[in-house]
Amino acid sequence: MRVKVAKRLWFHRQASTKSDRFPQPNEVTEGALQVWRTLPERIRQDPSLASFRQEHERLHGDVDQLHAEESEVRVQNGHHEETALANQPFTQIGINVTNEAGQVRVLDGRDLENNNDDQHEEAEPHAKSLIRKYLIWFKIAVLLVVWCVFTAFLMSNNEHVDQLSLISVPRNSSPRVFPIATASLQRIGLGLRGPFRLQENELTINASVPLPLLQVQVMRSYFDGEGMEIYIENASQVWQLDVVYPDLIDATRDTKKQRTFELSPTDPLWLAQANRTELSFEFTSSIEGELPLQLNVDESPIYKRDGVIYAAAVLCGLYVMIIWEIVNRTFAAIIASTLSVGILAALNSRPSMATIMGWIDVETLLLLFGMMILVAILSETGVFDYLAVYAYKITNGHVWPLINCLCLFTAVLSSFLDNVTTVLLMTPVTIRLCEVMCLNPVPILMCMVIYSNIGGALTPVGDPPNVIIASNSYISKNGVNFAVFTLHMLPGVLLVMVQTYIQLRFKFRNISDLQFKDSPEVEELRHEIHVWKRAAASLSAYSKDEELVRQTLMKKVNRLKRSLKKRMTAVIEPAPNYQQTLANLQAKYPIRNKPLLIKCSAALLFVISLFFLHSVPELQRLSLGWTALLGAIFLIILADIEDMEAILARVEWSTLLFFAALFILMEALTELGLIEWIGNMTEGIILGVGEDRRLMVAILIILWVSAVASAFVDNIPLTTMMVKITISLAQNSTLNLPLQPLVWALALGACLGGNGTLIGASANVVCAGVAEQHGYKFTFLQFFKVGFPIMIGSIIVTTGYLLVSHSLFAWH
């Protein structure tokens, strides 16, 4: 019996050893090498993938200059690296595994004989496992129901196509009648395109010449059995539009206006006498000349009250999926955006594919794509590791001075660069800096991105809402230029920075909150396992070459798991002192590729210079997206990069897809009337207060509504709507409200509100995506617990600043 058991154990060990054996160089194909080159650099250089590197060097020589120079640096610093790893708990991702004695060694097949229990994970209790299984099935069932709903809506309704008509309204208030096909309607939509005066344009008032107007209303006619009109009545309220002066019609760009008319019920007395009724639009113009118009009639417009309810339900569903991590946030955004389009289809307003593509802000996606390419190539030089060690040196290894320098630098940089660009550049540095100091990068990244949003509020180019506000022609003509904008925002931003620092110090008053719960070695091994799993999951199994690489990566994951089990029971050794750690880090993280760093610096200088020039309106020739794309192309040419697949594999495609889905979702919610409802509620509250307190209430309402709404919906469509409301309030002569205090309230609210939630600002999403690519994931609730209280504190401080400076001292 003992012999049989021994043989069985021997065969099991042999099978386990064989299954975990890494491929030999002669087993590596050219296709597998192409897959290997797309992996992150830290994983490519791991000893477990040495066979791939050897085969690459045998077939291609030293054509990959980056790898060759890196190899040379590793050979020169081999003994320093071994000493550093023996004394410093931080280990570089995917390079070596540290044993209990603190020595560095590479695991081989012999370790499997003593650790063949990797298949036996800690099993969950049966009851908990059963509950989890039921929850998974419940989630799948709910998502399938949602899928069936929007699929049925999309399949049962065609795309909504506007039927365009051309009319000409006569001069001197002569009415023009346009018949409506259907007589029995409760509401009807009308879209007009013509030479209307934009709300943002400066008024040209001449007492001798009245302002031209166009009046539109729906009329209902009653006819007897012989077809004679016996009565006509107004079926809706009058819609009044401002028109440009006759001599400016040819030089004015057509503007689109839309309105939904709520129709009054038919008169029962006349209906009893009539045989039929007809509806028609009546156009009347006061312009001295014929007024050409293009119109389209929508006989089944969206009922905004119901649309707002549907929009709120979709938005709540999105947050439920993200907050409780029911599905990946990118997939959650795709589901929510598709459902919103399905609801539009159910309401007979299904947009065309061209319309949906127009909803996507390609400018933002182009900016993100270009900067991700630049950062991916720049990371190959080792400059992020070098800067992290340098920051560790100048702060003497102290945590809070280092965080303060990091946040202050990020805020200043975000003031003059787009904060998305700043976060893309600063996140890798922050992560490496935290790894150097054995800190948890998640809370540090939250602090950094919060200060990025605060700094972006300072100037007209720091944050997208500020760009929308400052580029408005009416606002700019009323004295809001770059200098005035920055001057009025500076005191508020400085006060918010101080308040945020106090709150962050209180939130993380225990330094242990910034550190990992377990020992650095354990956390580092967990991080390595996450990174290797992520790399393996990025490869599919439909080709033999990718399957070979994927299996190799999973074998590495199994070895790391066994090493983690040993680490969990090992004795924690004391960390080395500051001087020893600094010396080890400086030897471990030099600049790996100086020629490539020079080329990257040239490309970054080009991009950042054009970004700074973008802050001067007279020099704006290229958008931020074009600038980033040109910089990426410039660097690819300089670096002579031939393997584009390896570079494109570093792009955070899930983040780009998340933004695209979010843009579609927000435009669909706008079509359903959610943003308009928020604006109307804001305007109604302000108009309902007395004149003596109207400015104070207007500042409070605009600031708090824009801040809270920006935390939960995209601030770009919200800011666009709030700008129109702000201008209409300032143009209302009966209110007598100054424009500038309302502008400052809107800018501060829209920018600072982005700190409230993870998806409140573009920079937050980008930071989370880059961090997850590096193996550090922070959830919606983690960010909410830190960001939302800081957002509330920031708005309270900003409220005091605006009320004192404008309501009390009338700085404007």
pLDDT exceeds cutoff 60 at 502: yes
- How many C-beta atoms surround the C-beta of residue 326 within 10 A? 17
pLDDT exceeds cutoff 80 at 49: no
- State how far the alpha carbon of 405 is from the alpha carbons of 306, 410, 491, 784, in Å: 50, 8, 20, 24
Confidence of residue 72 (pLDDT cuts 50, 70, 90): very low
The reported pLDDT for the residue numbered 352 is 92
746, 719 in Cβ contact below 8 A? yes
The reported pLDDT for the residue numbered 346 is 94
In this structure, what token pair is assigned to residue 660? 């695209």
More confident residue, 577 or 589: 589
DSSP letters, 313-365, are: HHHHHHHHHHHTTSS-HHHHHHHHHHHHHHHHHHTT-PPPHHHHHHHS-HHHH
pLDDT exceeds cutoff 80 at 589: yes
Confidence of residue 37 (pLDDT cuts 50, 70, 90): confident
- State how far the alpha carbon of 663 is from the alpha carbons of 333, 628, 658, in Å: 10, 20, 9
Determine what percent of the chain is predicted with pLDDT higher than 70: 83
Confidence of residue 77 (pLDDT cuts 50, 70, 90): very low
Confidence of residue 275 (pLDDT cuts 50, 70, 90): confident
* 3-state percent helix, strand, coil for the chain, nearest multiple of 5: 65, 10, 30
Half-sphere exposure of residue 707: CA atoms within 13 angstroms, side-chain side: 29
DSSP state of 806: I
Which segment of 96-105, 124-133, 140-149, 249-258 scores lowest on mean pLDDT? 96-105
Give the domain ranges of the chain: 164-301, 364-471+487-517+591-654
Beta bridge partners of 233: 220
Angle between helices 578-588 and 78-87 (to 10 degrees): 140
The reported pLDDT for the residue numbered 67 is 44
Element (H, E) at 453: helix 441-456
Average confidence (pLDDT) over 18-28: 65
pTM for this prediction: 0.79
* Nearest-angstrom CA–CA distance, 434 and 406: 11
The reported pLDDT for the residue numbered 639 is 92
Which phi and psi (to 5°) does residue 188 adopt? -150, 140
Q: What is the pLDDT of residues 154-202, one digit of tens each?
A: 999 889 888 888 999 988 778 889 998 887 888 999 999 998 876 544 4
Confidence of residue 568 (pLDDT cuts 50, 70, 90): low
Confidence of residue 542 (pLDDT cuts 50, 70, 90): low
Residues 6+ apart with CB under 8 A from 88: 575, 576, 581, 584, 585
The reported pLDDT for the residue numbered 232 is 92
The reported pLDDT for the residue numbered 472 is 83
DSSP letters, 89-114, are: S---TTT-EE-TTS-EE---TTHHHH
Confidence of residue 450 (pLDDT cuts 50, 70, 90): very high
The reported pLDDT for the residue numbered 109 is 39
In this structure, what token pair is assigned to residue 169? 């309204």
- How many C-beta atoms surround the C-beta of residue 708 within 10 A? 19
Report CA torsion sign: 375, 379, 380, 382: positive
Q: What is the pLDDT of residues 740-750, one digit of tens each?
A: 999 999 999 99
Q: Torsion over CA of 646, 647, 649 and 653, rounded to 10 degrees?
A: -170
Q: What rounded mean pLDDT belongs to the chain?
A: 82
706, 718 in Cβ contact below 8 A? yes
Confidence of residue 94 (pLDDT cuts 50, 70, 90): very low
* Nearest-angstrom CA–CA distance, 79 and 588: 10
Which segment of 70-79, 712-721, 723-732 scores lowest on mean pLDDT? 70-79
The reported pLDDT for the residue numbered 742 is 94
Among 25-34, 400-409, 714-723, top mean pLDDT goes to 400-409
* Nearest-angstrom CA–CA distance, 580 and 22: 36
Q: Which fold does the domain 164-301 belong to in CATH? A: Jelly Rolls (2.60.120)
pLDDT exceeds cutoff 50 at 140: yes
The reported pLDDT for the residue numbered 755 is 95
Average confidence (pLDDT) over 192-215: 67
Q: Torsion over CA of 604, 607, 610 and 612, rounded to 10 degrees?
A: -60
Burial zone of 513 (CB within 10 Å; 0-12 exposed, 13-18 middle, 19+ buried): exposed
Residues 6+ apart with CB under 8 A from 416: 459, 461, 462, 611, 612, 615
Element (H, E) at 745: helix 739-752
* Nearest-angstrom CA–CA distance, 387 and 405: 13
More confident residue, 62 or 468: 468
The reported pLDDT for the residue numbered 34 is 74
More confident residue, 78 or 508: 508
Which segment of 304-313, 513-522, 652-661, 733-742 scores lowest on mean pLDDT? 513-522
Q: What is the pLDDT of residues 294-342, one digit of tens each?
A: 999 998 898 888 999 999 999 999 999 998 889 999 999 999 999 999 9
* Nearest-angstrom CA–CA distance, 606 and 637: 14
More confident residue, 356 or 118: 356
pLDDT exceeds cutoff 60 at 207: no
The reported pLDDT for the residue numbered 23 is 73
Angle between helices 383-394 and 399-416 (to 10 degrees): 120
- State how far the alpha carbon of 93 is from the alpha carbons of 42, 210, 498, 529, 761, in Å: 6, 74, 36, 9, 30
* Nearest-angstrom CA–CA distance, 411 and 416: 9
Q: Both ends of the chain: CA-CA distance in Å?
A: 95
Q: What is the pLDDT of residues 763-811, one digit of tens each?
A: 999 999 999 888 888 889 999 999 999 999 999 999 999 999 988 887 7
Q: Torsion over CA of 275, 281, 285 and 289, rounded to 10 degrees?
A: -90
- How many C-beta atoms surround the C-beta of residue 58 within 10 A? 10
Among 58-67, 454-463, 499-508, 610-619, top mean pLDDT goes to 499-508
In this structure, what token pair is assigned to residue 333? 């955004």
In this structure, what token pair is assigned to residue 390? 């340098």
Amino acid at 164: L
* Nearest-angstrom CA–CA distance, 292 and 193: 9
Average confidence (pLDDT) over 663-672: 92
- How many C-beta atoms surround the C-beta of residue 217 within 10 A? 18
Beta bridge partners of 219: 234, 280
Determine what percent of the chain is predicted with pLDDT higher than 90: 38
User: 730: closest CA among 686, 692, 795, 769?
Assistant: 686
Q: What is the pLDDT of residues 399-427, one digit of tens each?
A: 899 899 999 999 999 988 888 889 999 99
Average confidence (pLDDT) over 368-392: 90
Which segment of 109-123, 446-460, 551-565, 663-677 scores lowest on mean pLDDT? 109-123
Average confidence (pLDDT) over 523-537: 73
Which segment of 243-247, 431-435, 601-605, 723-727 scores lowest on mean pLDDT? 243-247
803, 699 in Cβ contact below 8 A? yes
* Nearest-angstrom CA–CA distance, 108 and 5: 25
395, 581 in Cβ contact below 8 A? no
pLDDT exceeds cutoff 50 at 436: yes
The reported pLDDT for the residue numbered 519 is 62
More confident residue, 489 or 66: 489
pLDDT exceeds cutoff 80 at 636: yes
